[in-house]
Amino acid sequence: MTKSVIIRAVGAGLPERRVSNDELSKTLDTSDEWIRSHTGIGWRHLAADGETTSDLAVRAARQALERAGVTPADIDLIVLATTSPDYFGCPPTACIVQHKLGATQAAAFDLVAACSGFIYGLTVAKSMLLAGTARRALVIGAEVLSRVTDWTDRNTCVLFGDGAGAAVVDLSDTPDQGILNTRMGTDGSGWEYIVIRNGGAAHPYTRGSLAQRKLPVIEMNGKKVFVFAVRTLPEVVRGLVAEAGLTLDDLKWIVPHQANARIIQAAADQMKIPESRFYMNLEQRANTSSASIPLALCDLDAAGGLKRGDLIAIVGFGSGLTYGGALIRW
Ligand code: UT7
């Protein structure tokens, strides 16, 4: 029998602390008016001292597992997409998550594809499940971006938030349900447009790095990323529906990476689709990179917006430059 790969349940892990634009403007030369009008962001969750990416990932994973009615022991693959791991390079944050969850049967690894990370993770999990190299997976996007953000740089720090979203990904006997198709793409010529320049092999730490303010923080060419996003978002969604023999009208929702409402508005204009069919939660969550799409799915689900059988497209873009999407029959 033809198997499909479905998202059985999603879960969210958000820090308790919510910070408004007004609160940021107390210590930064910015304003609620600027941030809202240029991005659509109103609030972001920020991790408490000592709260890590693995903590948020575990919270999201537990919620997804509970909703799916499966135990950590039922999981044999954990793919954790993150750009802000607990530890730089080793160990993989996914291994810490595996330990905290007690998912002792699971192979666990990190995947770095920035804001497209959840899409890439879903694609890897789907391929492994269909190939028979895994049976049931947790795909998690988790970030504590606030620790790799320069809080004196108003061009970047107002954009990001912390959080995690997780999905239990499972095989099913219903061929027309689940992840119908996926797309992944890369334009490495734009690798410098969003970069954490310091602390890696290219610019390793030396004594005095901190004194010279060579911090491992996100630097971004916002305009270049904006143009890239407005071009790729429609391309990916159009490609997905065409490949599946469907049309844009068949989509109940497009759930894009939550970077900027203006990117989404421009894409909606280009695609001649009402903006109301693009789900947005960035007013509340800001840009949580690889957590943004699964968090959006959680919020949409919690609002009663997802019914079994609905056709949705998820689409991401970000550092790398990476991009990708998936067409899902919920
Ligand atoms: O996850 C994917 C990653 N990133 C993205 O998708 C980001 C894509 N790009 C963007 O979302 C937008 O380019 C930004 C929101 C980052 C910037 O918006 P913009 O309309 O392109 O603003 P800008 O960079 O052209 O800046 C306009 C002005 C500048 O002042 P001057 O030089 O005109 O005097 C900035 O200094 O706004 C200033 N500015 C701010 N003012 C108040 C920049 N950030 C702020 C701020 N508050 N937070």
Closest C-alpha among 65, 83, 141 to residue 296? 141
Same domain as 154, residue 186: no
Alpha carbon nearest to ligand 1 atom 14, residue: 222
Print burial letters for 67-95: b (CB count within 10 Å at least 16), e (below 16): bbebebebbbbbbbbbbbbbeeeeebbbb
Residue 281: pLDDT over 80: yes
Same domain as 214, residue 101: no
End-to-end CA distance of the chain: 20
159 CA distance to ligand 1 centroid (A)?
9
Please identify, among 156, 175, 194, the residue that sits at the C-terminal boundary of a domain. 175
Residue 1: pLDDT over 80: no
Mean pLDDT lowest among 12-16, 186-190, 210-214: 210-214
Average pLDDT over all residues of the chain = 96
Same domain as 206, residue 166: no
Active site residues: 115, 257, 287
pLDDT digits (tens, 9 = 90+) for 231-264: 999 999 999 999 999 999 999 999 999 999 999 9
**pLDDT value at residue 109:** 98
Same domain as 156, residue 77: yes
Containing structural domain, residue 75: 4-175
Same domain as 110, residue 222: no
34 CA distance to ligand 1 centroid (A)?
9
Same domain as 268, residue 146: no
Q: What is 188-205 written as a DSSP string?
A: GGGTTSEEE-SSSSSS--
Does ligand 1 have an atom closer than 6 angstroms to the CB of 259?
yes
Asked whether 272 and 50 are in contact (CB, 8 A), the reply is no
220 CA distance to ligand 1 centroid (A)?
10
**pLDDT value at residue 302:** 96
**Total domains present in the chain:** 2
Q: What is the CATH number of the domain that holds 46?
A: 3.40.47.10
Question: What is the average pLDDT across 81-99?
Answer: 97
Please identify, among 144, 175, 206, the residue that sits at the C-terminal boundary of a domain. 175
Q: Does an H or E element contain 121, and which?
A: helix 117-131
Same domain as 236, residue 98: no
pLDDT digits (tens, 9 = 90+) for 9-41: 999 999 999 999 999 999 999 999 999 999 999
Asked whether 280 and 258 are in contact (CB, 8 A), the reply is yes
Does ligand 1 have an atom closer than 6 angstroms to the CB of 46?
no
Q: Please, which pLDDT band fits residue 83 given cuts at 50, 70 and 90?
A: very high
Q: What is the dihedral of CA 300, 54, 90, 46, to 10 degrees?
A: 80
Same domain as 155, residue 65: yes
Strand ranges, E, within 39-76? 43-45
CA distance 230 to 174: 34
Alpha carbon nearest to ligand 1 atom 43, residue: 155
Residue 103: pLDDT over 90: yes
Strands 136-144 and 77-81 come out as parallel
CA distance 73 to 252: 34
Q: Please, which pLDDT band fits residue 290 given cuts at 50, 70 and 90?
A: very high
Same domain as 199, residue 165: no
Closest C-alpha among 137, 142, 131, 68 to residue 107? 137
Please identify, among 175, 190, 224, the residue that sits at the C-terminal boundary of a domain. 175
CA distance 206 to 192: 22
CA distance 159 to 40: 10
Residue 322: pLDDT over 90: yes
Same domain as 170, residue 31: yes
pLDDT digits (tens, 9 = 90+) for 118-166: 999 999 999 999 999 999 999 999 999 999 999 999 999 999 999 999 9
Same domain as 193, residue 155: no
Question: What is the average pLDDT across 311-323?
Answer: 98
Q: What is 13-41 written as a DSSP string?
A: E--S-EEEHHHHTTTSS--HHHHHHHH--
